[in-house]
Amino acid sequence: MTTNRAVAYKGPGKVEVIDTEYPTFELKDGPGVNPANVGRAVHHGVILKTVATNICGSDQHMVRGRTTAPVDLVLGHEITGEVIEVGRDVEFIKQGDIVSVPFNIACGRCRNCKEGKTGICLNVNPDRPGSAYGYVDMGGWVGGQAEYVLVPYADWNLLKFPDRDQALEKILDLTMLSDIFPTGFHGAVTAGVTVGSTVYIAGAGPVGLAAAASAQLLGAAVVIVGDLNEDRLAQARSFGVETVDVSKGDPRDQIEQLLGVPEVDCGVDAVGFEARAHGSKDAGEAPATVLNSLMQITAAGGALGIPGLYVTGDPGGIDEAAKVGSLSLSLGTGWAKSLSFTTGQCPVMKYNRRLMMAILHDKVQIAKAVNAKPIGLDEAPQGYQEFDAGAATKYVLNPNGYIAA
């Protein structure tokens, strides 16, 4: 029988590479699996041999102990793979295809999927709309930071790359299609970025950098990224982005120095619920800071794209309200300025094919923008530690040796 190895959450601050079961076309009980999903047949799925699978900031929230994730949950929702087994009911995806897997699992049959709202599919998570691989409260679908992984509804979910050799040559770019590139692009699109826009993006982690590259792709006149981490700000500057060091105070003053006015047309929150106060490198956590700041610096009539993660359960929250996702927002500011807000999971399939074409035809270098670095599966714990410490790097796991040295 084929073996499988995977990265699992082992408690706050700790991940390990473990031996785990090889996937089958039936959902089994395990850490985080919704009981209503146990025994569910997945004849519409495929089994992938993982080509690349990435460490994400959303994974890091769990690893820090900031969610209710159970011990031994297999992590990973940013998956690219080769199809090695095909379920009985799969019609169009074939063995040997190299494919990108949208991080949000969708059935393709429900009302939301038919309307393009694949981030809130109604049929894959018995508890709430929306699901993802290897993530707490998302139905218990096993994560993809592993040698092999099951993908359901394969004909619907998978984006097949047109040429195998070309895909493997550009794999560090194409692996970003599973999450952070569409997510950053969604943040920019929903913020209203277009030709000539001025844009402020809070957060210079991988999603923030992907949003910045996306804003450039969309024709923004000026893209500004704010963060506390100088290494990440330097990474943003490496591809032509202006930066703001929010440890020096309110970003309004620095934006005014750049633009001549203390506001932008479009705002993107790529930070989420672990936001810290502005004004100091050692500023404490203040989860509403980014949202309130964006409302202040976005021009009246503008929009905020909010791909940054906010949760309803945060055991590490700074107060009882924050522990249930209740934040002290200055909603009056947003109302008075007629601002629009878009939150929630990015519907990856809305964008991934177009972004794939941009990559394949050399219109964007997303791996360079986010400083992608391939590492072995056994190096995952170190990758998590370095990422948590603020490394300006997007770690790409290479569990089966597809990525050349």
Q: Using one digit for the tens of pLDDT, what is the confidence trace for 282-332?
A: 888 888 999 999 999 999 999 999 999 998 888 888 889 888 889 999 999
Q: What is the pTM of this model?
A: 0.96
Confidence of residue 2 (pLDDT cuts 50, 70, 90): confident
Same-domain check for residues 367 and 333: no
| Res 1: pLDDT | 53
Same-domain check for residues 52 and 163: yes
| Res 218: pLDDT | 98
Q: Is residue 402 in a domain?
A: no
Same-domain check for residues 149 and 216: no
Chosen domain end from 324, 343, 362? 343
Confidence of residue 243 (pLDDT cuts 50, 70, 90): very high
Same-domain check for residues 259 and 120: no
Q: Is residue 313 in a domain?
A: yes
Same-domain check for residues 151 and 95: yes
Domain of 64 in residue numbering reads as 4-179+347-397
User: Residue range 205-213: average pLDDT?
Assistant: 98
Residue with tokens 């009302």: 111
Same-domain check for residues 80 and 192: no
| Res 295: pLDDT | 97
Same-domain check for residues 23 and 53: yes
Same-domain check for residues 277 and 373: no
Q: Is residue 405 in a domain?
A: no
Q: Is residue 404 in a domain?
A: no
| Residue 396 pLDDT greater than 80, yes or no | yes
Residue pLDDT, tens place only, 336-391: 999 999 999 999 999 999 999 999 999 999 999 999 999 999 999 999 999 999 99
| Res 405: pLDDT | 66
Same-domain check for residues 220 and 159: no
Same-domain check for residues 335 and 368: no
Q: Is residue 403 in a domain?
A: no
| Res 235: pLDDT | 98
Confidence of residue 279 (pLDDT cuts 50, 70, 90): confident
Chosen domain end from 299, 322, 343? 343
Residue pLDDT, tens place only, 340-349: 999 999 999 9
User: Residue range 40-54: average pLDDT?
Assistant: 97
Q: Is residue 138 in a domain?
A: yes
Our count of domains for the chain comes to 2
